[in-house]
Amino acid sequence: MNVLAPQSSFSNTPVALSPSAIVSIDLQIRSYIIDIGAAFLGDPQLYSNLPHASSVVIVSNTTVAPLYAQPLQSALQARYAKVHSVVLPDGEEFKTWQTLNLIFDALLQHGCDRKTILFALGGGVVGDMTGFAAASYMRGVPFVQVPTTLLAQVDSSVGGKTGINHPLGKNMIGAFYQPLKVVCDLDTLKTLPMRELSAGLAEVIKYGPIADLVFLDWIEANMDALMARDGPTLAHAVKRSCEIKAWVVGQDERESGLRAILNFGHTFGHAIEAGLGYGMWLHGEAVGCGMVMAAHLSQRLGLIDAAYVARLTQLIQRAGLPVVGPVLDEADNAGRYLDLMRVDKKAEGGEIKFVVVDGAGSAALRGAPDALVREVIDGCCV
């Protein structure tokens, strides 16, 4: 599978986002837009084209709600008579059925019906859980993504993957379910803890090696500005990331092929998250380290050279991300990684499929001998 993105159709020139940028996701009747801009979340204009409903519900968490629920609520009250809210505990370890059920309880207690719109205000966990709640409540109600973390803005809020974790595997239970729209307010990135900014940068970096070497160059040149949260630089990173994701998802909504490349670094990363226990490392941290491992695997498969591995590793490190994997089992660390990776959703008949990259900015899905994978893990963990 050779999957070069049509780079010529996109711009890598940073643009000041004033007042807004729009990226479209083309999925026929499920198409929608991503609005990207500053001071957006509390602007009633952003919600003026949404369908009518007798009530809407803001789903957020204990960290984000105190910061941003009020402006969103005010904006929605201009259009909807009843604006309820649900505040979930914060953290990947709460991405469970029990927490999801808090949303269902609230929807039923408030008498929400099939037209009620859910608003996911928060990071990836809030977005994934709210999306799955929307997919499942009364067999499907509409929802809107209002991502407040870099990771959610560049990745998890776009493309309709929703779900919760199972003790035996990450995101094992969920649905492909598209939002009505995505509203990315860049101002929310100002309050993001540094660790979460780094985690988001992992997903930004990802788009370079899998689809766009020009963007990879741009990220390298602008990493200091990104880490310093320079507004226009972050704006371009969000826009370009969304463009690439939209391009991939538009071709393969349900991950029957191409879309799997977006999981570069995720197979190793999911093993780290599950092995340490959800919430120990942030998802983006595990993906950052996972990309280093996937790069080493790509090298051992003869797809890239050592210099390219070093280049990616250095960039990931500059983003403040871990580049050395944790030891998950003192006795047989590689064996533990392999066991955890065998329940990955990309696996088939017990064979793990890895996203590997070549030097030309494209990625593919491949199996690899256990012995080779063991060498990679042994070389990448301390």
Of 99-107, 216-224, 297-305, 373-381, the window that binds its own copies (rule: CB under 8 A) is 99-107
141: nearest Cα among 176, 110, 116 = 116
76 lies in the site for its own copies, by CB under 8 A? no
CB of 170 to its own copies, least distance (A): 11
Of 35-43, 62-70, 106-114, 223-231, the window that binds its own copies (rule: CB under 8 A) is 106-114
Of 22-30, 33-41, 162-170, 225-233, the window that binds its own copies (rule: CB under 8 A) is 162-170
Of 14-22, 169-177, 229-237, 309-317, the window that binds its own copies (rule: CB under 8 A) is 169-177
Residue 190: count other Cβ atoms within 10 Å of its Cβ: 10
174 lies in the site for its own copies, by CB under 8 A? yes
Between 166 and 318, CB nearer to its own copies: 166
Catalytic residue annotation: 139, 161, 203, 245, 255, 259, 263, 266, 270, 283
Phi, psi of 146 (to 5 degrees): -125, 80
Q: At 375, which helix (H) or strand (E)?
A: helix 370-380
Between 117 and 321, CB nearer to its own copies: 117
Between 163 and 269, CB nearer to its own copies: 163
101 lies in the site for its own copies, by CB under 8 A? yes
Q: Encode 268-329 in three state secondary structure.
A: HHHHHHHHHCCCCCCHHHHHHHHHHHHHHHHHHCCCCCHHHHHHHHHHHHHCCCCCCECCCC
For the chain, the C-alpha Rg in angstroms (whole number) is: 20
115 lies in the site for its own copies, by CB under 8 A? yes
370 lies in the site for its own copies, by CB under 8 A? no
Contacts of 191 (CB under 8 A, 6+ apart): 67
Q: How far apart are CA 36 and CA 76, in angstroms?
A: 18
Of 56-64, 84-92, 168-176, 232-240, the window that binds its own copies (rule: CB under 8 A) is 168-176
Between 77 and 109, CB nearer to its own copies: 109
Burial class (CB in 10 A: 0-12, 13-18, 19+), 252: middle
Residue 14: count other Cβ atoms within 10 Å of its Cβ: 18
Return the residues of window 123-152 that contact its own copies according to CB under 8 A.
135-140
77 lies in the site for its own copies, by CB under 8 A? no
289: nearest Cα among 312, 306, 307, 311 = 312
CB of 161 to its own copies, least distance (A): 7
Q: How far apart are CA 73 and CA 42, in angstroms?
A: 8
Helix (H, G, I), strand (E, B) or coil at 86: strand
113 lies in the site for its own copies, by CB under 8 A? yes
Between 115 and 311, CB nearer to its own copies: 115
345 lies in the site for its own copies, by CB under 8 A? yes
Interface with its own copies (CB under 8 A), residue total 39
Phi, psi of 306 (to 5 degrees): -60, -35
Residues 206/269, Cβ–Cβ less than 8 Å: no
Which residues form the interface with its own copies (CB under 8 A)? 54-55, 97, 101, 104-105, 108-109, 111, 113-115, 135-140, 161-163, 166, 168-169, 171-176, 254-255, 342-343, 345, 347-350
